[in-house]
Structure 1
Amino acid sequence: MTEEPVATVGEDPARAGSWWLRRIDLWVPAAFLALAIVVLLPLWIDPNGRVLASNDDDHGVFLFVLAHAERVVFDGAAPFFTDRLNAPVGVNMMANTSILALSLPLAPVTHFLGGGVSVALLITLGLAGTAFAWYWVLSRHLVHSRVAAAIGGAFCGFAPTMVSHANGHVNFVNQYLVPFIVWQVLRLREPGRVRRGGIILGLLIVAQCFINEETLLFTALTLGVFVVAYGIMRPDVVRAVWKRFLGGLGVAAATAGALLAYPLWYQFFAPGNYHGQPFEPDMYVTDLASLVGFARQSLAGNAALTREMSVSATEDNTFFGPIGFVMIVVSVVMLWRSAAARAAAIAGLVLLLMSFGPVLKVFGHDTGIPLPFGLISHVPVIDLVSVTRFAMVPATIAGVLLALAVDKIGTYPARRRRLFWIGMVLALVPLIPKPLPVVQGDPLPAFLTEGTYKPYVTGGRTLITVPLPEVTTGRTGMRWATLMNLDYATPRGYFMGPADPPDDDTGSWNAPRRFTSDLLWRVREYGQVPVLTDADRARITADLVYWRAGVVVLVPGGRNPAAQRAVLVDALGEPQLVGGVEIWDMRGLPVPPKD
């Protein structure tokens, strides 16, 4: 039996140049953009004042990296390092998701309109751009039908996993380079593509590295599994193309390696580097039940039920719905005669299996059934990945397979076509995304907006907000600093760095612990005011000197503000009310020299 082709390369010239195809190519991206705007509309109403409710911490992280890029462009700051967060140590920006390929071009937007506008713009264009990129590759190279390409592109760009990550993960929603990376890899088999194709692929890899390395890793793993699976099924093809294919990969590796050598050295060996994650591999995994569930941001989603199958609102990485899952399986069956489709399905299945982690979990309960991922969970690079995110790959592959199935269904009898389209409607309509929830962020006080803070932070001094900027507990202080485009330095913050260097370089979301940070955290959490001793006050003073304090600012409101104020009064004396906030002038403390 000969293999049935899944797709054609290119379009019939008469069709491709027709008026209606050109109109469709204009309407499809417009529709994608409109849908993305609807999803982000609550944030667009007040992008600098509102915060994505499902993950305000990561929203703050991307405000931070955008503010850093603004300083790189407008103040000449170093691109791979900043001393404006985690003062006086600073942050290794290459070891964090700094999205420099996006944040640097948007620096003027951040500078003139604010980081909140840049976040909203990047998420909106990320969703719409990813959908259109897949539509473009599908319609030009893989399917005849523009309807099939539009359905596939919409699924790849607005699948539950993409909308879920839109709750704050700017890096994961900007995947518009991925389809072109995939297609350039597959084109390396063509004659005459070794040098040109390899260079193009290498440049795409470099650009994607400066958007999101995790996505690049997922893409590489998926293509590796796909190539191996396809090679086993079609050894005749492999024998004919392997030399030029490997040659093209070699050129791509040389191109990317030359351009990324220093940035990657900085990421893994410069100060601020870390190894591993602050959690075990089995902490964030994909739940088997989520394959047929609905994400909380899908039209049919129920947040209470979804929480039983998902680690967070930004990690609903499968959630195809019962009919959606059936239609994905139906698509695989329809395309089974194609080795390429089978290889793609196998790649998706392998990455899905990896996302389950070392032990299978169903409805939030460990089954005790061991899985293969346990054998590789601590392999370097793999140990830097949140395991459940491997499931983003089968979601994308599902979109491609659905497009191929839609393209093929036209050759089926009328009754099967009707059943197929009924199934597609029942599968896709419940997955239509809902607008993302937002909350109002704490407004910037006049102390900042009127520039009153500036005399306090001269000479390398810092502005310290209480609660201290930390993951989950001090987000307001970090948000204030980022919305001011890091015009002043602040200690601590939410970022990835070593837990306690040099003794422990395990990745951590917080700066190394200090007496004052622990003390203020406990006061905020539990509202209990400790009785400070002279030794306690001395340790607080030592920490303020270490942090190069110029001024301490109490953030109004929040959790247990009276208790926090009482501790500060005990340690530092009575505050001044300046620009709408209570402050403690620390300019009398010495400023230690920088290392």
Structure 2
Amino acid sequence: MRAVEEVVEGKAEPRPEPPAPRRSRADLGAGLSYLSLAVLVMIQLWRDPSGRVLASNDDDHGVFQFFLAHGERVLFHGDNPLFSDRINVPDGVNMMANTSVLAVSLPFAPVTHFFGPAVAVVLLLTLGLAGTAFAWYWVLSRHLVTSRVAAWIGGLWCGFAPTMISHANGHVNFVSQWVLPFIVWQVLRLREPGRQWRGGVVLGLLIVLQVFINEESLLFTAMALGVFVIAYALMAPARARQDARHLLAGLGVAAAVAGALLAYPLWFQFFGPGNYSGQPFAPDKYATDLASLVGFARQSLAGNAELTRRMSVSGTEDNVFFGPVGFVMIVASVVVLWRSVAARATAIAALVLLVASMGPTLVVLGHRTSVPLPFGLVSHVPIIDLVSVTRFAMVPATIAGVLLALATDRVRGFTPRGRRLWQVGLVLALVPLFPKPLPVVEADPLPPFIAEGTWRQYVTDDRSLVTVPLPEVTTGRAGVRWSAQTLLDYRSPRGYFMGPVAPPLDRTGSWNAPRRFTSDLLWRVREYGVRPPLTAGDKARITEDLIFWRAAVVVLVPGSRNEGPLLDTLTAALGPPQQVGGVRLWDVRFLPVPPNE
């Protein structure tokens, strides 16, 4: 048996490979099983991708349609991949400072173009789950375990653990982790003599690819590898000193390759238009609950949504939730592998990131205790302050799958009774975590004004279409969806994206465009149903904002919350509306268009 410490420490003899036909059949079976499970998870959305939205996260479902539509515009219209001027008119959006998934939106642009962004989103979510599982299966089966069953179990956990199912609620970036296993393996292989140049170049290219999928996951992986290396060096200093020269040389090559290719994109992200720093929430707002280690996620077979809500920040952040038996099996895996220095270092890396995910103070069953945690010491460090703390737990969730695979491979050498006991434990751990199909809700149908392209009679490319409610992080979702469904053919103001809260004085990150009089006014009307009396000065400020937004037409979204008060407010400001294509609209093309800056 090829133990993990033999792989990492370079002691392993070449292992006999099974015959190619049998290996190919095993690979095909693994891939098909993962794909089938991914389709099951997304089946409710597959039934009507354009007519349904994910119930737990329609906000991000819509914003990733926008990101994919942006990829379509880059490929088919020559737009700037790093910047979009189609939303947040006139300021635009820094796409490098947002999770624009360019590494998948560009290759899948033909799908988006011919079938629409809604189909592209569900396809990428499905392939992300299945692809992540198969990538881990591939690395495990080729390099770390001899048993295809053990590799399959590891891939199953890594691709379909509760954290992955949770993020499948719209987070294309977080379920597309199929590059990370190869990054990890390339880093481990750099310690081999003679691999510094070739391995370093390959690693650098993989890093570049991952940056254009999700920088957060890359950061988490780098942190885990850093902790692993430190822990390994402390426990096996002689071996670490022997490998250090090769490892550091390879990392230097990788850094040079990645740095050269990413220099301008990263400059644009941190210093280009629309850059920001920090998050619009405190570091301890979204943290992992200690009780979630043994709880069940809401989308697990044994999950209870009401109980899960006490241990989770949202339906998209069930980042641990191993279940009681699952947690015991993870601990048992560490015990089984304890003689391996590499396995112990891996477990330490998982533990460090798990503790980091718990934030500055311990949270238990939704109750914030006064127990301080180490993350409070680094919560404001640059780069660290850009991530959501609870997502650090995605790394130990993945490491748990790797440890399960390694331990399952090792127990093949145990007594029959020991093997049976392990197999029973795996069944009791995995079955309750089996994922349920993600819930969806019916989306409001596009009005003919949008669906039939009637808007083209009003909106030219130098103007914008203003939807009310205005698109914001938690409101105006229809406006975001309308824009994405037209493949961003028209420009629109505001939107859901990350940008500076009040530039140039305050560049703190915000999920909304900078505040304006009209956006604040209409938000209050929508939220509270008030009909504010408008003075001449108020009307002048509304006109000023419409000019700023380069508005051609203002459209009231049918069926909006407090639609009556919104209609009354717009009528008081702009006069009686027209009824065109199933919507009420106000034609404001008589307003001047400010010159482009």
User: TM-score interval w.r.t. the shorter chain?
Assistant: over 0.9
Q: Indicate the SS of the match to 1:87.
A: coil
Instruction: Letter of the 2:99 partner, please give it.
Output: T
- Taking a change above 3 Å as real, the CA distance of residues 241 and 5 of structure 1, as seen in their structure-2 partners, is closer
Partner of residue 265, structure 2: 263
The answer to whether the 8 A contact 1:159-1:431 is kept is: yes
What is the distance in 2 between the residues matched to 1:287 and 1:65? Answer: 31
SS of structure 2 residue aligned to 1:458: coil
Deviation at 1:275, TM superposition (A): 0.2
Give CA-to-partner distance per residue, 1:364-386, whole Å, 9 cap, x none: 11111000000000000000000
Report what 2:94 is aligned to.
92
User: Which has the larger displacement, 269-278 or 419-428?
Assistant: 419-428
Q: Which deviates more from structure 2 when the two are superposed, residues 387-396 or residues 573-582?
A: 573-582
2:124, 2:18 → 1: CA distance? 31
Structure 2 residue aligned with 1:156: 158
SS in 1 for 2:322: coil
Deviation at 1:32, TM superposition (A): 0.2
User: Which residue matches 1:61?
Assistant: 63
Question: Counterpart of 1:31 in structure 2: which amino acid?
Answer: S
Letter of the 1:552 counterpart: V
Verify the 8 A CA contact 2:4 2:342 in the aligned structure 1: no
Name the aligned partner's letter for residue 74 of structure 1.
Answer: F
2:5/2:343 contact within 8 Å kept: no
Q: Distance in 1 between matches of 2:523 and 2:327?
A: 45
Residue of structure 1 in register with 2:405 after alignment = 403
| 1:528 paired residue number | 530
Find the counterpart in structure 2 of residue 169 from structure 1: 171
Distance 1:262 1:560 in 2: 46
Deviations 1:399-457 (Å, cap 9, x if unpaired)? 00000111011111122222211111111000000000111112111112222111322
Q: Tell me what 1:572 maps to.
A: 574
Per-residue deviation, residues 63-96 of structure 1 (Å, max 9, x unmatched): 1111111111111111111111100110000000
Q: 1 CA distance for matches of 2:197 and 2:285?
A: 43
The residue type paired with residue 334 of structure 1 is V
Corresponding letter in the other structure for 2:104: L
Gap regions ≥5 residues in structure 2: none
Answer with 422-431 or 236-245: which moved more: 236-245
- Counterpart check, 1:367 vs 2:387: no
Structure 1 residues 44 and 139, CA, compared in 2 at 3 Å: closer, same or farther?
same
Whether 1:435 aligns to 2:437 is: yes
Q: What does residue 548 of structure 2 align with?
A: 546
Contact preservation (8 Å) 1:6, 1:142: no
2:495 counterpart (493, 496, 519): 493
1:293-332 matches, within 5 Å, as: 293-332=295-334
| C-alpha distance in structure 1 between counterparts of 2:72 and 2:587, whole Å | 29
User: TM-score, normalization: structure 1?
Assistant: 0.98
2:198 aligned partner, one-letter code: R
Query: Aligned runs of 1:89-488 on 2, under 5 Å?
Result: 89-458=91-460, 460-488=462-490
Counterparts of 2:119 and 2:302 in 1: how far apart (Å)?
Answer: 30
C-alpha distance after superposition, 1:158-212 (max 9, x if no partner): 0000000000111000000000000000000111100000000000000000000
Q: Secondary structure at the match of 1:498?
A: strand
Tell me, yes or no, if the aligned pair for 2:334 and 2:343 is still in contact at 8 Å.
yes
- What is the alpha-carbon distance in structure 2 between the residues aligned to residue 293 and residue 280 of structure 1? 25
Partners of 2:295 and 2:308 within 8 A in 1: yes
Inter-partner Cα distance in structure 1 for 2:219 and 2:13? 28
* 8 Å contact kept, 1:9–1:140: no
3-state SS of paired residue (1:463): strand
Q: Distance in 2 between matches of 1:587 and 1:6?
A: 72
Q: CA deviation at 1:229?
A: 0.6
Q: State the SS of the aligned residue for 2:467.
A: strand
For 1:138 and 1:521, the matched residues in 2 are separated by: 51
- Tell me by how many angstroms 1:115 deviates: 0.1
Note if contact 1:4-1:337 (Cα within 8 Å) is conserved in structure 2.
no
Counterpart in the other structure of 2:24: 22
CA contact (8 A) 2:4 2:144 kept: no
* Counterpart-to-counterpart distance in 1, 2:263 and 2:51: 39
Native 8 Å contact 1:298 1:430 kept in 2: yes
Partner amino acid, structure 2, of 1:37: V
> 1:314 corresponds to which letter in structure 2?
T
Letter in 1 for 2:224: T
Moved more, 51-60 or 412-421: 412-421
Cα RMSD between the aligned structures? 1.2
* Total equivalences in the alignment: 592
Amino acid across the alignment from 1:553:
V
Contact 2:464-2:490 within 8 A present in 1 as well = yes
- Contact 1:6-1:404 at 8 Å conserved across structures: no
Task: Output the CA distance in 1 between the equivalents of 2:208 and 2:74.
Answer: 19
SS state at 1:499 partner: strand
SS of aligned partner of 1:582:
strand
8 Å CA contact 1:9–1:141 kept in 2: the answer is no
SS at match of 2:414: coil
CA contact (8 A) 2:289 2:365 kept: yes
Task: Report if the CA contact (8 A) 2:461-2:490 is conserved.
Answer: no
> Counterpart of 1:371 in structure 2: which amino acid?
L
Distance in 2 (CA, whole Å) between partners of 1:31 and 1:17 is 21
Q: AA paired with 1:61?
A: V
Instruction: Report the alpha carbon displacement of residue 17 of structure 1 after superposing the two structures with TM.
Output: 2.1
CA contact (8 A) 1:83 1:90 kept: yes
Give the letter aligned to residue 252 of structure 1: A
Assess if the C-alpha contact under 8 Å between 1:498 and 1:506 holds in 2: yes
